[in-house]
Structure 1
Amino acid sequence: MSDDDPEVADLEGTVTWSELLAEATTRFERAGLESPAIDARRIVEEVTGSEPSEFHRVLDTAATARGVASFDRLVARREGGEPLQYVVGRWGFRHLDLMVDRRVLIPRPETEVVAGLAIEEVVARSGAGREVVVADLGTGSGALGFAIATECAAARVLATDRSPDALAVARANLAGLGRAAGRVSLHEGSWFDALPMSVRGAIDVLVSNPPYIGDDEELPAVVGEWEPSEALRAGSVGDENLQTILDGADEWVVPGGAVVLEMAPDQTALIADRFRAAGWQASIHSDLAGRDRAVVARKRG
């Protein structure tokens, strides 16, 4: 339905956002969505450009024909099962507001915890004007690397991805970082191959949320049917990329540096043990739900 549609034009000034909110909630309930009221509210906020604090003031205002048309398009997409994050095209990650679409994974709360762990490692190595070299391997939307860059003034971030499409999204998000963008560079390529040789053996903190799901593992439809498979799958048992990073870390990370990796709960003990076998110190950290989610490994030096 376009804003030139006579049916939409007839609604100009006659329907309020409160009525549209109720309509969307009902449609989402019928579609069996998990959070119909929350999803409906987020779409109204997106279409009206309102902040959460302004939401209730918007509800009693009349919708324009253009607003109704935009609202209807987004509701139809969500009703069809498309993730809300892709429908609205933006999503929050820590303090960032990131552009997201089907070229990249949706930023998740688990990864915010990983970002926090990496930031702690950066802060521990900063001071006295020292630059901290950070590599974000498989950056996707840029969530991890950009959070570090904006929260740690000492960080110089090299963010990599093998997908040109993902890097296009990261580039769009980089443009909104402000002054911190000057301390971030994007590099296309697979894992360590994307990095310039100038940082070989000089990375202070390496962070990554690599694909870690096994090829045969079943995923919820909202994930498997919409998010990029190449950013999720990692071989028969899901540890191929984690092992690649582990194998290259000793060559690329400075003595005393750290590696912070997100992974599945059932992978943490194995990866931590592999780091220890390679002579590193390693610890396991849980996410907000209390599940093992990350390994922080520190290179002796």
Structure 2
Amino acid sequence: MTWDQVLRQASASLSAAGLADAPRDARRLLAHVLECDPSRLSLLTHEAAPDDLRARFDALIAQRARRIPVSHLTGRRAFYGRDFAVSRDVLDPRPETETLIARALEHDWSRVLDLGTGSGCILLTLLAERAGARGLGTDLSAAALTVAARNADMLKLADRVAFQSGDWLDAVPAGSGPFDLIVSNPPYIARDEMPGLDPELDHEPRLALTDEADGLTAYRRIARDAPAHLAPNGVLLVEIGPTQGAAVADLFAAYGLSGIAVDVDLDGRDRVVSGHFGAN
């Protein structure tokens, strides 16, 4: 069989499993097996498929049909024009989080703190986009910090970033602040919303998805503790669920932040809440 025939079979199998993006997923997995860019597959699909490579591809397709995310099968996820290593230990970077990146880059800062850094995609993207800036990422998961450190090495940013294990701002070492910018994409899904989520999320760390409560627990902690770690005129930016804008904005105001704004993502949904500490 040629790769084109194999690819058609794989797309049909994924479609039968109920995957809406079956052809795209099949192409991404084949590109991974053939170690080429997906855009070059058309140059290769007329070639005969060797048995060993086809067996490897078929195994990946079978796993994808069981709703294992493509990123976990390839070990990579694209975010803001860069590839990041991912695993079951971290939340997959998502396009909507790029709203937070764009908002952060509108501000002046040179020291950034990322709370619940996970893969490090937010923190490392910000550092890559701003030469000379330095950052600290915290996470309760030691396994997640291992992934983040790997990404820092891959992006050649290890000399400008540090990682610390611990719970939100309690993990920040004494004397390491203040920070001009604090960012976070905390777990914001309420416990009673979890059963209705996409099956792919079963393969991501539950700790990064839900607070096992109303979805606002982390925001209460961050809004309360962040001002003590912000420099004058410093900015706090958090990603939120699309129904949480007003509630998180109220929390920011309750703990003394000013200039509070709620920004929408490309789909027009509330996605980022920002606030300033001290005079603007």
TM-score (norm 2): 0.94
User: Runs ≥4 in structure 1, deviation > 4 angstroms?
Assistant: none
Alignment of 1:43-122 (within 5 A): 43-121=29-107
Which residue does 1:155 correspond to in 2?
133
Cα distance in structure 2, aligned partners of 1:231 and 1:120: 27
Deviation at 1:32, TM superposition (A): 1.0
- Report deviation, 1:114: 1.0
Question: In 2, are the aligned partners of 1:139 and 1:208 still within 8 Å (CA)?
Answer: yes
Asked if residue 26 in structure 1 is aligned to residue 50 in structure 2, the reply is no
Instruction: Supply the AA of the counterpart residue of 1:99.
Output: A
The CA distance in 2 between the partners of 1:29 and 1:187, in whole Å, is: 42
Distance 1:255 1:238, change over 3 A: same
Q: Check the 8 A contact 2:224/2:255 in 1, yes or no.
A: no
Once the two structures are TM-superposed, the CA of residue 85 in structure 1 deviates from its matched residue by 1.8
Tell me the amino acid that sits aligned with residue 185 of structure 2: N
Which residue of structure 2 aligns with residue 230 of structure 1?
207
CA–CA distance in 2 between the matches of 1:177 and 1:274?
35
| One-letter amino acid matched to 2:140 | R
Contact 1:188 1:194 in 2 (8 A): yes
* Code of the aligned partner of 2:239: E
Q: 1:5 corresponds to which residue?
A: none
Change (3 A) 1:192 1:223: same
For the residue of structure 2 that corresponds to 1:43, the secondary structure is: helix
Give the Cα–Cα distance (whole angstroms) in 1 for the partners of residues 79 and 52 of structure 2: 29
Residue 138 of structure 1: how far off its partner (Å): 0.4
Task: Give the Cα–Cα distance (whole angstroms) in 1 for the partners of residues 2 and 172 of structure 2.
Answer: 53
Structure 1 residues 69-127: Cα deviation after superposition (integer angstroms, max 9, x where no partner): 21011101001111222122211000210111111111111111112212222xx24xx
Amino acid at match of 2:160: R
CA distance in 1 between partners of 2:47 and 2:151 (Å): 32
TM-score (norm 1): 0.88
Unaligned runs of 5+ in 1: 1-14, 126-131
Q: Does 1:210 align with 2:196?
A: no
Q: Residue type matched to 1:153 in 2?
A: A
Which structure has the bigger radius of gyration?
1
2:274 maps to 1:285: no
Identity across matched positions, percent = 38
Whether contact under 8 Å (2:68, 2:200) holds in the other structure is no
Contact kept? 1:16, 1:59, Cα under 8 Å: yes
Q: 2 CA distance for matches of 1:155 and 1:196? A: 18
CA offsets, 1:5-45, max 9 Å, x none? xxxxxxxxxx2211111011010111111111111111111
Counterpart of 2:164 in structure 1 is 187
Q: Structure 1 residue 164 and structure 2 residue 164: aligned? A: no
Q: Is residue 2:123 matched to residue 1:145?
A: yes
Residues 109 and 288, structure 1, Cα contact 8 Å, conserved in 2: no
RMSD of the alignment, in Å?
1.4
What is aligned with 2:111?
133
- Structure 2 counterpart of 1:254: 231
Residue in structure 2 matched with residue 264 of structure 1 by the alignment? 241
CA distance in 2, matches of 1:65, 1:172: 33
Query: How far did residue 224 of structure 1 move?
Result: 4.0
Structure 2 CA distance, aligned partners of 1:38 and 1:29? Answer: 11
Q: Quick check: 1:83–1:222 contact (8 Å CA) kept in 2?
A: no
Mark the runs of 5 or more structure 2 residues left unpaired by the alignment.
Answer: none
Counterparts of 2:56 and 2:212, CA distance in 1:
40
Structure 1 residue 197, shift from structure 2 partner:
1.2
- Answer whether contact 1:50 1:58 (CA < 8 A) is retained: no
Point out the more displaced range, 239-248 or 48-57.
48-57
What is the CA–CA distance in structure 2 between the aligned matches of 1:49 and 1:145, rounded to whole Å?
Answer: 28
Structure-1 separation of matches of 2:7 and 2:19: 15
